[in-house]
Amino acid sequence: MKYEKELNRRKTFAIISHPDAGKTTLTEKFLLFGGAIQTAGAVKSNKIKKHATSDFMEIERQRGISVATSVMTFEYKDTLINLLDTPGHKDFAEDTYRTLTAVDSVVLVIDSVNGVEDQTRRLMEVCRMRDTPVIVFINKMDRDGKNRFDLLEEIEGELKIQLHPMTWPINSGKDFKGVYNLHDKSLLLFTANTKATDDEDSVVIHDLNDSVLDEKVGDKDAAQLREDVELIDGVYGELETQKYLDGKVAPVFFGSAINNFGVKEMLDTFIRIAPVPRSRETTKRMIDVKEEKFSGFIFKIHANLDPKHRDRIAFLRVCSGRFERNKYYHHVRLDKEMRFSNPYSFLARSKDVIDDAYAGDVVGLFDTGNFKIGDTLTEGEDFYFTGIPSFSPEIFKELVNKDPMKTKQLEKGVNQLTDEGVAQLFTQFGGNKKIIGCVGELQFEVIQYRLLQEYGAACEFRPLPFYKACWLTSNDQKKLEDFLRFKQQNSAEDKDGHPVYLAQSEWFLNTEIQNNPDIQFHFTSEIHK
Ligand code: G4P
């Protein structure tokens, strides 16, 4: 059946990393292998560089690039790969978390010199929540990095995932000689190279005691490799693919993205073991990915900052069936039938109007304000996909209206921007104070700028002393109401009317958790329960 064939050749994933670990470089090498681009340097980094934090023109320019690189579709050895890009700047982390709800697996890049960094930790937490299968690429082996065994131990300990080496490096830095492929039992010798070609210098070694190994890497390194491999084989054995698919074990590759070294090994393994689109849970029932009826959800909304072209693109992840151009679909939240005459797919860096799309694909839909994150489209059935949570913001500010004549515009603007997922809006109980929560300072600047430019509403922000938002639930409604009343200064509701506790510090939070055993404090909110 055509549909099943299409489904089984699709792999939708994201590359994630702490900024500067090599995500953009690796993305580019993947695209070169997939033939989607011909030359190195063609993929512009979409990261908003640290120095540009308050340069709006720069943000706009970068956002322009990031629309084009939001989804990159390419084919490699008959596999259709949808690579979803994630913003590099940490202030846009929430965007990244949401993109992770739309992928079936991830490749995590770790810098061999810096090891596990802040963003690595947090991104992995999100992956673990959903048991997303992870492949680890330890990058920059051409630099003097940490000891490889120490590095594996650090990653396992910090990211709380069991690792499984698939290749093993021979030294690092200027002594880096290459990697031994534990699966194929072949030796790949390091050459600095920026082309994506098949003719890599690899030597098949069926028996590690073969003297060809000593010839290729020298006696000392050959002896060390034999010792290492014996140890690794003893500890790890063969990779159990199911454990990887369950998100319990992460295969690890060593390499150097900039030199295009070790990348092909990973890509070949990726297309062999990475999951094809899977069935997904909804508020009503499990949606089997093989169902013929179309369903999908919006995981990202991208607004154009240019006031002359104030269009938005909503990114739809197809979860089942076949999406067709010009066919009417059911917008569950608005209870409205909608059709799309210009749905986009994202082949490499250009957008193309498409006629259809299958589960696993991402489609760009022109939006005039109908969508918010988490919205579901179906062929008529009412349900929402679950597992698309909001995470607690880290910075909270009170929104102050500077122009009472523009109150309505301000309200509309704030509502639309929070629908897009730029920030979260909380309303304090009692006082009706509007509180905006973001992951980074940059977003406040973006909001202020956009409210003025797009809605003509002037506002300013007053810092608030909160550090975390927790969503509250309880079986005892009275206790919850009493708590909210008693803690009025720290209580608010989110946009969907769910009660939230705003904690000043970890100490306060822990104290409240201890003192209120009948109330559950949640660190994420499902957008739709
Ligand atoms: P990111 O998207 O994760 O933020 O990282 P990006 O690929 O932009 O890489 C960050 C820096 O690390 C870049 O250098 C890049 O050239 C370098 N890099 C990537 N892979 C390797 C590798 O295998 N070995 C070494 N030694 N360096 C690597 P930059 O100087 O910040 O940028 P650029 O001027 O080279 O673009």
What are the pocket residues of ligand 1 if the criterion is a CB atom closer than 6 Å to any ligand atom? 17, 19-25, 45, 47, 88, 139-140, 142-143, 256-259
* Residue among 98, 83, 166, 165 nearest 130 (CA): 98
State the Cα torsion 33-39-40-44 to the nearest 10°. -100
Residue 221 to residues 77, 170, 196, Cα–Cα distance (Å): 34, 7, 27
The strand pairing partners of 73, in sequence order, are: 82, 347
**Per-residue pLDDT tens digits for 132-168:** 999 999 999 999 988 999 999 999 999 999 999 999 9
* Residue among 192, 215, 193, 195 nearest 203 (CA): 215
* Residue among 394, 395, 432, 392 nearest 411 (CA): 432
Q: N- to C-terminal Cα distance for the chain?
A: 35
Helices and strands: H and E segment counts in the chain: 14, 33
* Residue among 146, 104, 111, 108 nearest 125 (CA): 108
**Cβ neighbours of 527 (radius 10 Å):** 24
Q: How close is the Cα of 21 to the center of ligand 1, in Å?
A: 7
Q: How close is the Cα of 111 to the center of ligand 1, in Å?
A: 10
- Residue 73 corresponds to which amino acid? T
Q: Please list the helix, strand and coil fractions of the chain in percent, rounded to the nearest 5, in that order.
A: 35, 30, 35
Nearest CA to ligand 1 atom 15: 22
* Distance (Å, whole) CA 10 – CA 108: 20
Q: How close is the Cα of 20 to the center of ligand 1, in Å?
A: 6
Q: Which of the residues in the chain have pLDDT under 50?
A: 45-56, 348-349, 528
Q: How close is the Cα of 66 to the center of ligand 1, in Å?
A: 18
Of ligand 1's listed atoms, the one at least distance from the Cα of 27 is: 7
Q: According to the model, what pLDDT value does residue 450 have? A: 86
Is the separation of the CB atoms in 392 and 468 below 8 Å?
A: yes
Q: Using H for helix, E for strand and C for coil, what is the string for 133-177?
A: CEEEEEECCCCCCCCHHHHHHHHHHHHCCEEEECEEEECCHHHCC
Q: How close is the Cα of 292 to the center of ligand 1, in Å?
A: 43
Nearest CA to ligand 1 atom 27: 140
Please report where in the chains the tokens 């990348």 appear, as a residue: 263
Indicate the CATH number for domain 280-378.
Answer: 3.40.50.300
Q: Is 323 exposed, middle or buried (0-12, 13-18, 19+ CB in 10 A)?
A: buried
Indicate the CATH number for domain 4-173+237-273.
Answer: 3.40.50.300
Q: How close is the Cα of 139 to the center of ligand 1, in Å?
A: 10
Domain ranges for the chain: 4-173+237-273, 280-378, 395-522
Q: According to the model, what pLDDT value does residue 51 have? A: 39
| Pocket mutation for ligand 1, best pick of 20, 28, 191 (most atoms within 8 Å of C-beta) | 20
Q: According to the model, what pLDDT value does residue 47 have? A: 47
* Residue among 109, 124, 119, 120 nearest 254 (CA): 109
395-522 has CATH 3.30.70.3280 classification: yes
Q: Using H for helix, E for strand and C for coil, what is the string for 54-108?
A: CCHHHHHHHHHHHHHCCEEEEEECCEEEEEECCCCCHHHHHHHHHHHHHCCEEEE
Of ligand 1's listed atoms, the one at least distance from the Cα of 143 is: 26
DSSP state of 274: S
Residue 164 to residues 189, 252, 258, 276, Cα–Cα distance (Å): 21, 6, 24, 21
* Distance (Å, whole) CA 13 – CA 17: 13
* Distance (Å, whole) CA 491 – CA 16: 34
Q: According to the model, what pLDDT value does residue 204 have? A: 74
Largest Cα separation within the chain, whole Å, is 83
Nearest CA to ligand 1 atom 25: 140
- Domain 4-173+237-273 and domain 280-378, same fold? Reply is yes
Residue 54 to residues 167, 302, 453, 459, 460, Cα–Cα distance (Å): 42, 20, 16, 17, 16
Q: According to the model, what pLDDT value does residue 52 have? A: 38
| Pocket mutation for ligand 1, best pick of 18, 23, 25 (most atoms within 8 Å of C-beta) | 25
* Distance (Å, whole) CA 427 – CA 433: 6
Is the separation of the CB atoms in 34 and 76 below 8 Å?
A: yes
**Per-residue pLDDT tens digits for 86-132:** 876 677 778 888 899 999 999 999 999 999 998 899 889 889 888 99
Q: According to the model, what pLDDT value does residue 350 have? A: 57
The three-state secondary structure class of 41 is coil
Q: How close is the Cα of 258 to the center of ligand 1, in Å?
A: 7
The three-state secondary structure class of 125 is helix
